[in-house]
Amino acid sequence: MKIKSFETEIFAGINNRSYQFEDGLNILLGANEAGKSTIINAIYASLFIKPQIKLNTTEGREFKEKFLPYPDGDFAEAELKIEVDNLDYKFYKKWSNNNYAGYLELADGRRIENPKKILEYKKDILPYAKSTYNNIVFSSQQDIKSTLERINSEQNPELIDTINSFLRKAVMELDGISIDKFRSKLEAEIEQLSKKWDLDSDSVTNSDRGVNNPYKVGTGKIYDSYIAKEKLRQKLKESKVNEKKFEELGAEIKKLKTEEKALIEKIEELSKIESEINQRAALELQIKNIKEESRRLTEISKKWPQLKNDLSNLEREMEKLNKKITNLESEKVRAEKLEEKKKLEKRLNKIKLLNSELNELNKKISKIIIDKAKVEKLEKYKNKITESKASLKASKLKAKINFSAAEEINIISGVESEKSVSEGEIIEAEGYIRIKTDQIDIEIESAEIDFPNLKQEFEENQQEFIDLKNKLGVNSLTEAREKLTELNDLKRKVKEKGNKIEEILGADKIEDLEAKLIKLKNLDTARKLETITYELKKLNDEAAELKTKIKIMESKLDEWIEEYQSLDQLNLSLTQKKKKLVTLKNKLDELASLPEVYDSSQAFIADLKQKRAKRESINQVLREKIEQHKDLENILPEASSKEMESELRELKNEFKNLKQKAHSLNKIKKVFEKKLKEMDQDSFAPLVKSFSKNLQQLTVGKYKRAIIEDDFSVKLQSEQKRELPGNLDLLSYGTYDAAALALRFAIFDNLFSDYGGFIILDDCLVNLDPQRRKNAVDLINQYQQKYQIIYTTCDPERADEFEANIINI
């Protein structure tokens, strides 16, 4: 079996794609997120996922989230062509919640749309079921790392049965009998009997899930029989309890009716005087309120004159305080102006002092005639003189006058002035010597320099240097530099003084400051501003406190005036309330007397209300009891206790028989497993051989042999005979990937060698070192001679390592 082509209009994030696949190795090459995994998922879905997306199932919800176009696409579709035994088949599916479709096109062109018939044809087209393809053919690189765990998982019984049956078939002839199917059927029957029931302890596996909290699904016959038996036992027990409760409720109802009747009689007796007692309560409340109001008015009548007198005293005190504050505020203004005057005088004095210093500095500057350019010119002449002397020094001359008849011998050496020398004296000169007597005049020049011009240049520069020194009034270049430094220092000080003046003035002008000072000239004296401010604050605090007191008194007086208009009106109102009090007391005497058992009218009203509430409560309880009595009458079982006891005995026998059957099947299973173990000793040999061969190649000989136990646990044996379990925590990533890939190829080869097929590899070489990767490439090339391989990668260099059909995504 192999894939020939895949097409889709839209599936997840890809659309309008069409790809052709060839025999051997096909590489899906594309960047991350380009759609490689989506294509593999679409191929898998085309073979195994039903077109109707049921959103109430996990598979349906996951398909919608992963593969329907984001954000609001409502369908996905794909078409897959495969070849089996030289016959072409086409799977078409359109996945949707409502508008779904799908068909299988056979080699003769017929289309099958009935889902059940498609499943029947798939059994002939695909040699194995969905779980085998999911775990062996379509495993991604990430899933490879759990290959061993998934094969040994209880969630994959179909895959284990498939591999076990194939391995046994490879070592023995079973005449068409499937041992694994027999074992699966035996185990299924035992599970149907004993699921959720522990045969060893003869109890429910989870003590919390007994008859009061039973499982609703996933239970066995023994558990179901146990629950039915216990429910009937409870029903029988509850029936007896309900019969007894039915009788007790009848007695309670009779007692409540008697109590309710007595209450009704007492309520009717008290209701006859209820109206007048209510009037009495209202009059008593009015009398109480009038007494309280009269007391309050009497108190206000006494306080009113005193409050007015206190308010007048406070207002006079406030007037005196305000005069003191006004005087202090005037003094504070004078003090602030005097403070301002001192600050102005201080600023102006600073400015005057700075201006005076500035004038002195400018006078010094004006006396200095040196500037930077003149000093640089002086330096230039000095340098040229030095250069001329240096040129002369490079041409040293030496002479000696051994004999002369002249009495006086004069010489000129270099650029120096004429001087006398003695006979026999050694003369040294730089570049030029002239010897003069009354008889001879000899000039000697160095041939290396142009002495006349050099001398002329020297004399000119020396003269310029001397003239400029005299003009500047200095004796040397050093003195000129010192004077220039002095000049720069004076200018810096001038700038600093100017900046200081600007800083003191700020945005003001000196004329404005002087004008302001004149205005502040004739001011009266005042105390210190701090003293005045302190006294003023103290007086203001006193005034604020006094003002608050006045405001409170005024507010209270205004409140009384607003409520009573005047003191006379208040007294008049007090007189009227006293008269009304007499009238109300007369009305009270005319009403029915309060029964002796009550302390007050309120107690009478409260007791009557309580009795009515109690009567209502009793009536409510009575109605509930009567309702319960009827409900119990309705739920009492039709069957008698004897009938239920007979049925309970039958359920006990059924429960006992089911447990005996389960124990018998377990005994059969133990015998079967013992015999099967004897037959199974060599069943893993073909797989172990393939696995070991692949492992040795992929680990470059580090691991020579693999051992597979009956429970599919794996051990790797190194050259040194050291065994390691195939556990990710104990192996490096590279070794684990190599072991998983070696086992996967071995299982695939053993399962599909008679059928042919295809396998998906998801860039499984990432963690391998160069030599292991080279060997893995060789292994993949070997397998592509027998099978179709679809390899996905994002690395063009990885793709170039193979000879393959490159499919760019």
Q: Spell out the residues 6+ positions from residue 351 whose beta carbon is closer than 8 angstroms to its own.
A: 501, 504, 505, 510
Quote the CA–CA distance of 788 and 664 in Å, as a whole number: 49
The residues with which 442 forms a beta bridge, in sequence order, are: 435
Q: What is the DSSP string of 287-337?
A: HHHHHHHHHHHHHHHHHHHHHHHHHHHHHHHHHHHHHHHHHHHHHHHHHHH
Say if residue 377's pLDDT is above 80: yes
Q: Spell out the residues 6+ positions from residue 707 whose beta carbon is closer than 8 angstroms to its own.
A: 688, 714, 715, 716, 717, 723
* Phi, psi (rounded to 5 degrees) for 427: -115, 130
Tell me the average pLDDT of the chain: 85
Q: Which two tokens stand for residue 804?
A: 């393959």
Quote the CA–CA distance of 787 and 785 in Å, as a whole number: 6
Predicted confidence at residue 171, as pLDDT, reads 35
- Per the model's pLDDT, the better-predicted residue between 718 and 422 turns out to be 422
Quote the CA–CA distance of 315 and 743 in Å, as a whole number: 108
Quote the CA–CA distance of 493 and 42 in Å, as a whole number: 89
Predicted confidence at residue 317, as pLDDT, reads 92
Residue range 392-413: average pLDDT? 76
Q: Which two tokens stand for residue 709?
A: 């136990």
Q: Spell out the residues 6+ positions from residue 808 whose beta carbon is closer than 8 angstroms to its own.
A: 29, 30
Say if residue 142's pLDDT is above 60: no
Residue range 174-187: average pLDDT? 63
- Per the model's pLDDT, the better-predicted residue between 631 and 243 turns out to be 631
Say if residue 168's pLDDT is above 90: no
Give the residue extent of every domain in the chain: 173-273+636-680
Q: How confident is the model at residue 173 (pLDDT cuts 50, 70, 90)?
A: very low
Which of 227-231, 475-479, 640-644 is least confident?
A: 640-644
Predicted confidence at residue 730, as pLDDT, reads 63
Residue closest to 609 by CA, chosen among 336, 313, 281, 297: 281
Say if residue 149's pLDDT is above 70: no
Spell out a b/e string for 637-655, using b for 16 or more CB atoms within 10 Å of the CB, else e. Answer: eeeeeeebeebbeebeebb
Predicted confidence at residue 763, as pLDDT, reads 83
Highest mean pLDDT among 137-151, 393-407, 776-790: 776-790
Per-residue pLDDT reduced to its tens digit, 649-697: 999 999 999 999 999 888 888 877 776 665 555 566 778 888 889 888 8
Predicted confidence at residue 731, as pLDDT, reads 67
Predicted confidence at residue 175, as pLDDT, reads 35
CB atoms within 10 A of CB 395: 18
Q: What is the DSSP letter of 58?
A: H
Q: Are 184 and 161 in contact (CB under 8 A)?
A: yes
Q: Which two tokens stand for residue 235?
A: 């029903």
As a whole-number percent, the residues of the chain with pLDDT over 90 amount to 37
Residue range 305-317: average pLDDT? 92
As a whole-number percent, the residues of the chain with pLDDT over 70 amount to 91
Q: What is the DSSP letter of 440?
A: -
The H-or-E segment that residue 84 falls in is: strand 75-84
Cis before residue 71, ω within 30 degrees of 0? Answer: yes
CA angle 284, 290, 291 (to 5 degrees): 90
- Strand ranges (DSSP E) for 631-710? 703-708
Residue closest to 82 by CA, chosen among 758, 752, 751, 750: 758
Say if residue 133's pLDDT is above 80: yes
Quote the CA–CA distance of 95 and 650 in Å, as a whole number: 52
- Per the model's pLDDT, the better-predicted residue between 592 and 30 turns out to be 30
Say if residue 234's pLDDT is above 90: no
CA 136 vs CA 154, 155, 751: distances in Å: 16, 15, 10
Quote the CA–CA distance of 224 and 232 in Å, as a whole number: 12
Amino acid at 722: R
Quote the CA–CA distance of 645 and 233 in Å, as a whole number: 8
Say if residue 607's pLDDT is above 70: yes
Which of 159-173, 189-203, 252-266, 475-489 is least confident?
A: 159-173
Say if residue 711's pLDDT is above 70: no
Decide: residue 165, CB within 10 A, 0-12 exposed, 13-18 middle, 19+ buried.
middle
Amino acid at 243: E
Predicted confidence at residue 777, as pLDDT, reads 94
Q: Which two tokens stand for residue 360?
A: 């002195």
Quote the CA–CA distance of 225 and 655 in Å, as a whole number: 6
Say if residue 154's pLDDT is above 50: no
* Phi, psi (rounded to 5 degrees) for 398: -140, 130
First to last CA, the chain: 24
Q: Which two tokens stand for residue 238?
A: 């509850």
Per-residue pLDDT reduced to its tens digit, 776-788: 999 999 999 999 9
Q: Spell out the residues 6+ positions from residue 341 whose beta carbon is closer than 8 angstroms to its own.
A: 517, 520, 523
Predicted confidence at residue 23, as pLDDT, reads 95
Q: How confident is the model at residue 153 (pLDDT cuts 50, 70, 90)?
A: very low
Quote the CA–CA distance of 250 and 259 in Å, as a whole number: 15
Quote the CA–CA distance of 81 and 8 in Å, as a whole number: 12
Number of helices (H) and strands (E) in the chain: give both, helices first. Answer: 22, 21
Residue closest to 595 by CA, chosen among 585, 605, 587, 582: 605
- Alpha helices, DSSP H, located in 699-755: 733-752
Predicted confidence at residue 400, as pLDDT, reads 78
Residue range 565-584: average pLDDT? 89
Per-residue pLDDT reduced to its tens digit, 4-55: 999 999 999 899 999 999 999 999 999 998 999 999 999 999 999 999 999 8
- Per the model's pLDDT, the better-predicted residue between 408 and 209 turns out to be 209
Predicted confidence at residue 166, as pLDDT, reads 43
Residue closest to 465 by CA, chosen among 391, 376, 372, 371: 376
Quote the CA–CA distance of 43 and 14 in Å, as a whole number: 13
Spell out a b/e string for 48-57, using b for 16 or more CB atoms within 10 Å of the CB, else e. Answer: bbbbbbeeee
Which of 41-55, 98-112, 383-397 is least confident?
A: 383-397
Predicted confidence at residue 719, as pLDDT, reads 65
Residue closest to 60 by CA, chosen among 100, 114, 102, 1: 100
CB atoms within 10 A of CB 487: 19
Q: Which two tokens stand for residue 421?
A: 């020398």
CB atoms within 10 A of CB 370: 21
Which of 41-45, 766-770, 793-797 is least confident?
A: 766-770
For the chain, how are helix, strand and coil distributed in percent, rounded to 5?
60, 15, 25
304-312 contacts, C-beta under 8 A, 24 or more apart: 304/557, 304/560, 304/567, 304/570, 305/567, 307/553, 307/556, 307/557, 308/557, 310/553, 311/550, 311/553, 311/554, 311/557
Predicted confidence at residue 83, as pLDDT, reads 96
Cα 33 to the chain's mean position, in Å? 25
Decide: residue 199, CB within 10 A, 0-12 exposed, 13-18 middle, 19+ buried.
middle
Spell out a b/e string for 673-709, using b for 16 or more CB atoms within 10 Å of the CB, else e. Answer: eeebeeebeebbebbbebbbbbbbbbbeeebebbbbe
Quote the CA–CA distance of 229 and 648 in Å, as a whole number: 6
**Dihedral sign for Cα atoms in the order 343, 349, 351, 354:** negative
Residue range 748-766: average pLDDT? 89
Predicted confidence at residue 159, as pLDDT, reads 44
Residue range 147-172: average pLDDT? 47
Quote the CA–CA distance of 792 and 99 in Å, as a whole number: 32
Say if residue 141's pLDDT is above 80: no
Quote the CA–CA distance of 281 and 292 in Å, as a whole number: 17
Cα 401 to the chain's mean position, in Å? 105
Say if residue 177's pLDDT is above 50: no
Per-residue pLDDT reduced to its tens digit, 466-523: 888 888 888 988 988 998 898 899 999 999 998 998 898 888 888 888 888 888 887 7
Ramachandran area for residue 292 (φ above 0: left; ψ -120 to 50: alpha; else beta):
alpha
